[in-house]
A and B are shown apart, each in its own frame.
Chain A
Amino acid sequence: MTTARNSHRRPAPSGRAASAVSGPASRDQPLLEVTGLCVDYGFGQDAIHAVVEADLVLRRGEVLGLAGESGSGKSTLAYAITRLLRAPGVITGGQVLFHTPGTGDQDLPASAAAPWHTIDLLDAGPEQLRALRWNRIAVVLQSAMHALNPVLSVGAQLTDVLRAHRPEMDRAARLTRAGQLLELVGIPADRLGNYPHELSGGMRQRVMIAMALALEPQIVIMDEPTTALDVVTQREILEELMDLRDRLGFAILFITHDLSLLIEIADTIAVMYAGRIVETAGARQLYRAPRHPYSLGLLRSFPALHGPHQPMTGIGGSPPDMRQLPAGCVFHPRCPYAMDKCRVDTPQLLRLHATGRAVACWLQGTATTPPPELALPEPESSATTATRATTQAATPPEATTQATPAPGVGQQAAGIIPSQRSGS
């Protein structure tokens, strides 16, 4: 995949005032900034803290991967962002800033030439959410068989979004557009009249993707979109997806437990454990130089196709019981490098070296020296790598080597919206 677009990056204007209106976005402007998001299941004493203090930034055209075991809270996080979390889920804190053209009250297409605003999705009302949904943020779920309405035809499910958000389109225009969408994902347009049960698994997933792109959203959230498919179909669909991303320019929040997949397709990866984000890094950075023991364990859990033989060690212990989390760092019972401090104090997600990575571990950025496998040198970051670009490509050379608390992470910057880019 080419990176031609990314090489035109200009640094975002810094020191933006706290007003809500700003000019058209640059390539790397953040679209979605999640700060300190907390999500509980249930309420009161028995509440389970499914997501704790999560920070994420999703930039325009970026693929952000969210990796973690089952039950780590990654799906919860994604659904909470869009307020689609089912009962008894409750959002108990944080901010989800969404930068988008228009105030979010009208059903404008994302490409509209309107001044950009920032909306906190957690404060938005039902009408605002309804206008934004699918228009700006779309969702693709794991099992298309269950995500498609079995009694409606594919065409009906494609056109009803158009009818809801683009009232100016008439019936013929909608049908044409629906046909175009199917062609976009490689399905002949004459399948519009088919029902979900008449399509194969791969085709259904493609229909879901086509449906998600119907209104040309800015962000597509994909929750394990290919997990239920065979590897061959998985490959095909992912390639088509990346191709579409290049063409249409939307950002993807890709949730999966398959870290190896993310390393291939994601620009940035956030690793979650027990409801906390424990590491955020560029994909290549994470692969070559993991900083968190959990990330290291994950990487050692799948074999590489190339390179020397490496022992697969996996991660000892078992996933945590969310109702009784250990004190201090949640990972410490399974961590081969746990220190005394880890059993008592919870590490926060801290920015490292102004490289755009962040880690929540006492081994990094303090007086202790991390073990060599967690201190590997950063990979060479170049804008012309054949695979994909990382956000670190524009890291200014005068990056400091001192760990600084990243703005908008754990603590709050002095109210500057949007939060600043790394390093600038």
Chain B
Amino acid sequence: MALVIGTDPAATGDGQPPPLPTVRLRRGARVLQLPKSLKVRIGLGFGLGFIILAVIGPWIAPDNPNTSLSTTSGVPQAPSAAHLLGTTQVQQDVLSQLLAGGRSTILVAIVAGLIATTLAVLFGVTAGYYGGVLDDLLSMLANIFLVMPALPLLIVIFGFLSKSTSPSDVLIGLVISITGWAYGARVMRAQTLSMRQRDYVVSARAIGEHGWRIMMFEILPNLLPIVATSFLFTVIYGVGTYTALSFLGVISPVHWSWGTMLYWAQSAQAAQQVRIEWWWFVPPGLAVGLFGTSLALLNFGIDEFINPRLRAAGLSRRTAKRAGLPRRSQLGLTPVVRNSGPVSIAAAVPGQLPDEIGHGPLAGTDRRT
């Protein structure tokens, strides 16, 4: 990771979130480089892997998740060659359930993310740009949704649906998104407010560009990192919420998802058995956790792009040790490293080089701090 050079020690911060690096919309604009941070690469890899599995999952599943494959046993079977992840209490193949459930879970989460982010951008940017009464109303609306606890509300909404009806994934995603847009809207609004003062927006208004054009072409491109973060965050939220709703049984248990698997496992007290039926509850939970973690790691990467102060502090361990620099930069203790003097600069002055430039009477001793 390149060093953050040129930090002005007298630079002042104002405690606000740092302004986003500005991007002018240009044809053939900067090419996005593959991020160098290991965290981000892992996140990207896993995330893509999950999405691929979501698409092809049910097609590669060995069995139908609903089918009880044998009626001889009422006890979940441990993983074996026939059932790579074992079976449930009624002899359903866990792996198939995992793959089928994966598609539903990921689809719901992505739908929720897309709709919520769209709403967030719509409400947030509009409120921030126009201000006034519109801003007050939309802010009030956002605050209400922010403060109201989401899960109980969703429980009430879904709870009144009859158990036999099974809403489609898209509909579930839509309902979940109603509770998930408010946070992103607030962030967008804050950024839009700060951008409104910027020169390029002010000049666009002076020219007489329409409001929506300014929002689309001047403000929105610069919000893209925040939009990306908001999207990922909402997808994580969607996964968690959908899984929770399924776990509670509020969403009909006939609808396969990772949460539903956990519902059945919990009903059968899989963790409390003497012979812990770990293959039943660990895969779905792990899947949710890993998917969420990969998206969170991606988010870290975007965060570090937005706020350079969060990037890893420059030097790798080896370089630092070789230089005699302390690995951690300590505030108020600027390191002094004398072995690399400015000789390279004065080398342009042949014959004028005194013997020991920059070394005092203490020359010759090796100082490390």
Q: Do chains A and B touch in the complex (CB under 8 A)?
A: yes
Which residue numbers of A lie inside 8 Å of B, CB to CB? 18, 35-38, 41-44, 46, 48-49, 52-53, 75-76, 79-80, 83-95, 120, 122-123, 126, 129, 141-143, 146, 150, 223-224, 322, 327-328, 344-346, 348, 410-412, 415, 417
A88 touches B314 (CB 8 A): yes
Known: A75-B8, A344-B348. A93 touches B333 (CB 8 A): no
Q: Is the CB of A345 within 8 A of B3?
A: no
> Which residues of chain B are within 8 angstroms of A43 by Cβ–Cβ distance?
3, 315, 319, 323, 325, 337
27 contacts between A and B (CB under 8 A): A18-B361, A36-B357, A36-B359, A41-B5, A43-B3, A43-B315, A43-B325, A49-B342, A53-B357, A83-B332, A83-B336, A85-B334, A86-B7, A90-B337, A92-B338, A93-B357, A94-B360, A95-B362, A123-B362, A123-B369, A129-B332, A146-B13, A345-B352, A346-B348, A412-B356, A412-B359, A415-B360
- Do A52 and B342 touch (CB < 8 A)? yes
Residues in B neighbouring A141, C-beta threshold 8 A: 10
Given the complex of chains A and B, what is the CA–CA distance between A344 and B325 in angstroms?
33
Residue contact A122 to B5, C-beta cutoff 8 Å: no
B334 adjacent to A84 (CB under 8 Å)? yes
Q: Which residues of A contact B341 (CB under 8 A)?
A: 38, 92-93
Q: Is the interface of B mostly helix, strand, loop or mixed?
A: loop
A92–B313 contact, CB under 8 A?
Answer: no
Q: Which residues of B contact A328 (CB under 8 A)?
A: 348
Whether the pair A44, B323 counts as a contact (CB closer than 8 A) is yes
Q: Is the CB of A85 within 8 A of B352?
A: no
B331, CB-defined interface residue at 8 Å: yes
A344: chain B residues within 8 A (beta carbon): 348
- The listed residue (A35, A52, A123) touching B345 by CB distance below 8 A is A52
Tally B residues with Cβ within 8 Å of A: 46
In the bound complex, how far is the Cα of B337 from the Cα of A85, in angstroms? Answer: 14
**In whole Å, how far is A224's beta carbon from the nearest beta carbon of chain B?**
8
**B362 to A120, Cβ gap below 8 A?**
yes
Beta-carbon contact of A93 and B352 below 8 Å: no
Whether the Cβ atoms of A38 and B359 lie closer than 8 Å is no
- Listed in ascending order, the chain B residues whose CB lies under 8 Å from chain A are 3-10, 12-15, 313-315, 319, 323, 325, 329, 331-338, 340-342, 345-346, 348-349, 352, 354, 356-363, 367, 369
Tell whether, in the assembled complex, residue B7 and residue A41 are in contact, meaning their CB atoms are under 8 Å apart.
yes
Q: How many angstroms from the CA of A90 to the CA of B319 in the assembled complex?
A: 14
A83 in contact with B333 given A88-B7, A123-B367, A345-B352 (CB within 8 Å): yes
When C-beta atoms are compared, the residue in chain B nearest to A81 turns out to be B334
Shortest beta-carbon distance from B355 to chain A in Å:
8
Contact residues in A for B325 (Cβ distance below 8 Å): 43, 90
Counting chain B CB atoms within 10 Å of each CB, the highest count among A53, A79, A90, A322 belongs to A90
In Å, the complex CA distance between A346 and B329 comes to: 33
Taking a contact as CB atoms under 8 Å apart, the answer to whether B360 and A95 are in contact is yes
- CB contacts (< 8 Å) of B342 on chain A: these are 38, 49, 52-53, 92-93
- Find chain A residues with CB under 8 A from B323 CB: 43-44
7 nearest A-B pairs in the assembled complex, by CB-CB distance:
A87-B329, A93-B358, A415-B361, A36-B358, A95-B360, A146-B12, A85-B334
Contact between chains at B337 and A92 (CB < 8 Å): yes
